[in-house]
Amino acid sequence: MKHGWVGGLVTTATVTHATPAGFLAQSDKRDDEEGIATQYLERAIQVYLGGGYRFFDPALRSDKKDLLSGFREKGYAVLRSRDELLSQKSDKPLFGTFSESHIPYTVDHLNDPALLRSIPTLAEMTTAALTRLEHTGQGFLLQVEGAKIDHAAHVNDAPGLVRDQIAFDDAIGVALRFQAEHPDTLVVVTTDHGNSNPGLFGQGDGYGDSDKLFSKVGRMSRSYSAISGDWYADMTIGELTSLIHDGTGIELSASEAGLVLDAIRSHGPNPYTYQNAAIPTLASILANHTAVSWGGTSHTGDYVTLTAQGPGASSLPSLLINTDLNAFYRKCMARA
């Protein structure tokens, strides 16, 4: 990092996951999150906020190394809960991990009072990061990742995806308000790839039902992934129907629920190999009720959003190969 600049990483994945680690660590293996965690203690940037305390906690690490004490000794506020984050002053660098692995989906977070108390939102983590970074009085690079959007898309989880997109949008709002007060800040919003191509499809006469069907996603109280944590191969069609109804508000017919049950028992009916799993099968069936359907369960080659506000934004080309973004960041930092 440019001399005199400080840094921060905020994510809803494990803080050692690929996207944050790509900004700070060097490793042959993206899955070596314990090794990446050790590098984080050595790099000692100003802010680490996200999930993944199992890679730092001596009781959970395979080598029993106590990285949490290491951060404390370096003067960090070591945080484990939303309350601790919100009451934290800006006088210390921040190390906060709020779940053992990835942070739960926003839709599950919003509907669980215990999770609401224990885990901050992405916008709250972004606010805390900016407050600390501003306090240092130095130039800074902060990366904020709405990681669960990708996770939701991989399993075709519509309520997971939509609520985490909104949570990411809230975090963009925090960044843009900071930018308005600090016009020398450049905010870039982008992603590294598309995923699974969700779409709102025309349904009903003259496609007139789509909006009404899509609004059902907004009323769902659980991610499909959380629902899948409670289903099992031996359950009856009736038990499965009520489990899905409790989480989504949608009553499947016996034949629809039977297809999901087949997929849970590993005889998935989906002819596209990549969607031949239980949650994407549930998503395919729920597409009849929500008008939200998907193209697959993997990353895609689509053009993606790239937008910016602040100094340098006007020099950002409208089309850019993703790896060239690194050169753009370097140019902006050199000018700052």
Looking at beta carbons only, is 132 or 148 nearer to Zn ion? Answer: 148
Among 248, 208, 201, smallest CA distance to 224 is for: 248
User: Does 33 help bind Zn ion (rule: CB under 5 A)?
Assistant: no
Taking the complex as a whole, how short is the minimal distance between the CB of residue 274 and Zn ion, in angstroms? 13
CA distance 237 to 134: 55
Binding residue (CB under 5 A) for Zn ion from 108, 145, 150, 164: 150
Looking at beta carbons only, is 34 or 192 nearer to Zn ion? Answer: 192
- The residue number with the shortest CB distance to Zn ion is 150
Segment holding 202, helix H or strand E: none
Looking at beta carbons only, is 150 or 256 nearer to Zn ion? Answer: 150
Taking the complex as a whole, how short is the minimal distance between the CB of residue 2 and Zn ion, in angstroms? 30
Taking the complex as a whole, how short is the minimal distance between the CB of residue 193 and Zn ion, in angstroms? 7
Region of 150-158, 167-175, 207-215, 279-287 interacting with Zn ion (CB under 5 A) = 150-158
Region of 42-50, 143-151, 248-256, 320-328 interacting with Zn ion (CB under 5 A) = 143-151
DSSP 8-state class, residue 185: -
Region of 60-68, 142-150, 239-247, 272-280 interacting with Zn ion (CB under 5 A) = 142-150
Tell me, letter by letter, the H, E, C secondary structure of 54-98: HHCCCCCCCCCCCHHHHHHHCCCEEECCHHHHHCCCCCCCEEEEC
Region of 89-97, 146-154, 243-251, 288-296 interacting with Zn ion (CB under 5 A) = 146-154
- Give the interface size with Zn ion as a residue count (CB under 5 A): 1
Taking the complex as a whole, how short is the minimal distance between the CB of residue 192 and Zn ion, in angstroms? 9
Taking the complex as a whole, how short is the minimal distance between the CB of residue 195 and Zn ion, in angstroms? 6
Taking the complex as a whole, how short is the minimal distance between the CB of residue 143 and Zn ion, in angstroms? 17
DSSP 8-state class, residue 126: H
Region of 18-26, 35-43, 61-69, 145-153 interacting with Zn ion (CB under 5 A) = 145-153
Q: Which long-range contacts (CB under 8 A, 24 or more apart) does 192-195 make?
A: 192/19, 192/304, 192/322, 193/299, 193/300, 193/301, 193/302, 193/304, 193/322, 194/299, 194/300, 194/301, 194/302, 194/303, 194/304, 195/149, 195/150, 195/153, 195/154, 195/298, 195/299, 195/300
Looking at beta carbons only, is 124 or 150 nearer to Zn ion? Answer: 150
Could you give the 3-state DSSP secondary structure of residue 40? helix
State which of positions 300-329 bind Zn ion (CB under 5 A). none
Taking the complex as a whole, how short is the minimal distance between the CB of residue 19 and Zn ion, in angstroms? 10
Among 176, 79, 159, 160, smallest CA distance to 123 is for: 176
Taking the complex as a whole, how short is the minimal distance between the CB of residue 157 and Zn ion, in angstroms? 13
CA distance 245 to 85: 35
Could you give the 3-state DSSP secondary structure of residue 277? coil
CA distance 296 to 280: 9
Strands 194-195 vs 299-300: parallel, antiparallel or unpaired: antiparallel
**Burial classification of residue 132, based on how many CB atoms lie within 10 Å of its CB (0-12 exposed, 13-18 middle, 19 or more buried):** buried
Region of 140-148, 149-157, 181-189, 213-221 interacting with Zn ion (CB under 5 A) = 149-157
* Residues found near Zn ion in the complex (CB under 5 A): 150
